[in-house]
Copies of this chain bind each other. A is one copy, B any other.
Amino acid sequence: MPRAVVKPTEEADIRALSLFNGMTEESFQALFRGAYVQNFPPMIDLITEGDPSDFLHVITHGSVELFAEWNGRETTMATVRPVSTFILAATIRDAPYLMSARTLEKSRIVLLPSIDVREVFATDPVFARAIVDELAMCYRAVIKNTKNLKLRTSVERLANFILRNVSNGDGLATFELSMEKRRLASFLGMTPENLSRAIKTLQGYGVKVEGAQVTVHDVEDLTAFAKPEALIDDYST
């Protein structure tokens, strides 16, 4: 694999991540000494579940899908976007990956040797604290996701997904789907056919989907149906 230099602007982006922004320059350099960067085309497998976790991955451009397989079935676990890290827990525990990862678009990935991450963790208390914060947040995100899956029907999950995305906007109740519908379906725990029908069901609550463009005409109405709540739908805590 061709090893590329990390661009200065890129390094700055990564350093701005909460995981890295408080650490000493010395620690940061120690982390990046063994790092390398690569550009990947779409639909390239980056990691396969079960493999040893040699690198902490940081995505700086593009998008990556985390997915899992069992007995011939496959499900989307998450989609990762810049700038963020993924598979931190496996790196920390020096344990095999539980999920596979593939690029969805042309993507740029920084690879930090896991051994360096563990090394710096041991010497830089600020970094240690940041890793704990990050892990605790990831843990809580997965718990929220489990509640979402177990307590809601597929239409309710879709309704809340839509609300979460439009509310992030600038007041205009519209947004663009950031992934293919079939991946969204898998992420939400349903089939593509079922997603199509769920969208139709939500038309009754003022939701219109044209291609990737989602518009909510009556946020009140959709909210009354979806009943979003912080302990499931707020990804910031």
Contacts and interface: CB of A to CB of B under 8 A. Distances in A.
Q: How many copies does the complex hold?
A: 2
A4 interface: no
Interface string A100-119: 00000000000000000000
Grouping DSSP codes into helix (H, G, I), strand (E, B) and loop, the A interface class, with mixed when no group exceeds half, is: helix
Contacts of A99: 143
A152 B68 CA distance: 12
Contact of A151 (B68, B129, B135, B150): B68
Interface stretch (A14-22, A32-40, A87-95): A87-95
Given A49-B231, A144-B98, A231-B49, A92 B132 contact: yes
A227 B93 CA distance: 25
Interface string A214-237: 000000000000010111100001
Contacts of A146: 77, 142, 145-146, 149
A89 B142 CA distance: 12
A231 B75 contact: no
Contacts of A83: none
Give the bracket for the number of chain A residues in contact with chain B: 35 or more
A139 B96 contact: no
Interface stretch (A55-63, A120-128, A176-184, A193-201): A120-128
A9 interface: no
A231 B96 CA distance: 8
B128 A132 contact: yes
A152 B131 CA distance: 32
Interface in A166-198: 189
A29 interface: no
